[in-house]
C-alpha cells in the first residue's frame, strides 16, 4: 500500500566551497545594518516533494535517484541533503 511522503531536498554549496550569495547577504545587508551577532550565512535551495511510496526509505531513495538522474544538483560543487519532512 503506498502513501504520500513529504520529502525535503536541500541543495547547497559544499562546506569547503565559498558561497558568494551568503557572503553578500552577510556583508552587504546584515552587517551594514548592525546585526553583528550574525557571524556567517550560507544559502541553499530547498525543494519539498510529495512522493508516493510504500515507506519513508523508499521515498527517500526515489528522490535521490531523481536528483541524480535529472541533475537537479551538481555533485562536484553541491551537497545534497534529503530527509523526511516533519
Q: Which residue in 14, 18, 27, 38 binds its own copies (CB under 8 A)?
A: 38
For residue 53, state whether it binds its own copies (rule: CB under 8 A): yes
Compute the least distance from the CB of residue 18 to its own copies, in Å: 15
CA distance 63 to 45: 15
Question: How far is residue 77 CA from its own chain's centroid?
Answer: 13
Cell of 61: 531513495
Q: Tell how strand 78-84 and strand 3-13 pair up.
A: antiparallel
- CA-closest candidate to residue 9, choices 53, 51, 54: 51
For residue 12, state whether it binds its own copies (rule: CB under 8 A): yes
Compute the least distance from the CB of residue 81 to its own copies, in Å: 10
Given the rule CB under 8 A, which residues bind its own copies?
2, 4, 10, 12, 22, 25, 29-30, 33, 35, 37-53, 62-63, 66, 69-70, 72
Amino acid at each position: 500500500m503506498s502513501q504520500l511522503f513529504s520529502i525535503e531536498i536541500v541543495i547547497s554549496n559544499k562546506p569547503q566551497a565559498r558561497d558568494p550569495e551568503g557572503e553578500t547577504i552577510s556583508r552587504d545587508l546584515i552587517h551594514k545594518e548592525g546585526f553583528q551577532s550574525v557571524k556567517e550565512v550560507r544559502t541553499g535551495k530547498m525543494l519539498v516533494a510529495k512522493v508516493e511510496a510504500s515507506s519513508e526509505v523508499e521515498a527517500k531513495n526515489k528522490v535521490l535517484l531523481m536528483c541524480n538522474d535529472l541533475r537537479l544538483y551538481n555533485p562536484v560543487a553541491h551537497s545534497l541533503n534529503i530527509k523526511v519532512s516533519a
